[in-house]
Amino acid sequence: MKFDLHCHSHFSDGALTPTELIALAVERGVTHLALTDHDTLAGLPELRAASEQSAVQIINGVELSCEWRHQLLHVLGLNVDPDNDLLRAGIRRNTEQRFARAEAMYREFERQDINLRAEVAAQLPPDSVPTRPHFAQALVNLGVVKNKNKAFKKFLVRGKPGFVPMVWPDIAEVSEWIQAAGGVAVLAHPLRYKFTRSKLVRLIKDMLAVGIEGMEVSTGNTDTQQCEMLAILAQRHGLLASMGSDFHTPNQPWAALGTAAPLAQSLTPVWSRF
Ligand code: AMP
Ligand code: MN
Ligand code: MN
Ligand code: MN
């Protein structure tokens, strides 16, 4: 069995369709796949349909943007019922926030005589959600910057002229939506936030208090030492352990589908709850 419980399709900031994701999962020997698009479930019907032509098992997932003590976090909802009303309403709220932010971003860029509407819209299939990487690609397409990395650095991060801050729901709220939908809530990429260890421990305690029961221990670009550190934390605090590549596109080899290292035997895998 090979699990990959974190990846993206073109319904958020991924490059591939859900159908292409299944083909890639087959090629990589992934047996259990969760599509976890940012703040949308729109890719799940196509993913399920495509999976039925293969041996890949699908776990319904989503990656929700949320806040903890004024900091942006990503929490995965795994094995959720996509028809649950509370989850759907919460996701709708986040999606609306994304569209409102996109409008504010267009206006910010127009003030700098850069019109991104057409370039962003052209990248968005029906029912997808706008993300900052779409804006980064639009800036590349228009020749404003050489690559997406530069687009983030120059325009799209806090303090830069195209950054529009958002107010996301609290971790307690997204945890409630996920639990209502029968899913397991999992902290995504715990090291991406660059917290000190003591701050990470504080987060874990707050997470557990609101019912976020898992943490990604193995992700595409965590090295062995980092995995071991996260494994110790997961074990010490009784967290379920998850693994996922956070795959977005085939041209990011550090986050290739199916490449997250296997979890240590001593951990309780999140799929023990599916
Ligand atoms: P959003 O949720 O729309 O604000 O976009 C966040 C997404 O942008 C993340 O999930 C990453 O895929 C991507 N991202 C964030 N920061 C960077 C960066 N500095 N360079 C490239 N991509 C980034
Ligand atoms: Mn992303
Ligand atoms: Mn994320
Ligand atoms: Mn992700």
Structural domain boundaries in the chain: 3-91+170-273, 95-156
Q: Give the pLDDT score at 221.
A: 83
Nearest ligand 1 atom to alpha carbon 134: 3
Q: Which CATH class is domain 3-91+170-273?
A: alpha beta
Whether residue 162 contacts residue 103, with contact meaning beta carbons closer than 8 Å, is answered with no
pLDDT digit string, tens, across residues 203-254: 999 999 999 999 999 998 889 999 999 999 999 999 999 999 999 999 999 9
With a CB cutoff of 8 Å and minimum separation 6, the contacts of 47 are: 9, 18, 19, 21, 22, 33, 35, 58
Q: Give the pLDDT score at 119.
A: 98
Residue 236, CA atoms < 13 Å, CB-side half-sphere: 10
Question: Kind of pairing, strands 57-68 and 71-78?
Answer: antiparallel
Q: Which of 6, 11, 13 to mutate to test the pocket of ligand 1 (most atoms within 8 A of CB)?
A: 13
Cα 64 to Cα 66: distance, rounded to the nearest angstrom: 6
Cα 48 to Cα 98: distance, rounded to the nearest angstrom: 25
| pTM of the complete model | 0.98
Tell me the pLDDT of the chain averaged across its residues: 97
Whether residue 98 contacts residue 134, with contact meaning beta carbons closer than 8 Å, is answered with no
pLDDT digit string, tens, across residues 92-141: 999 999 999 999 999 999 999 999 999 999 999 999 999 999 999 999 99
Burial of 179 (0-12, 13-18, 19+ CB in 10 A): buried
Q: For the domain covering 95-156, report its CATH number.
A: 1.10.150
Atom 2 in ligand 1: residue holding the nearest Cα = 131
Q: Give the pLDDT score at 222.
A: 86
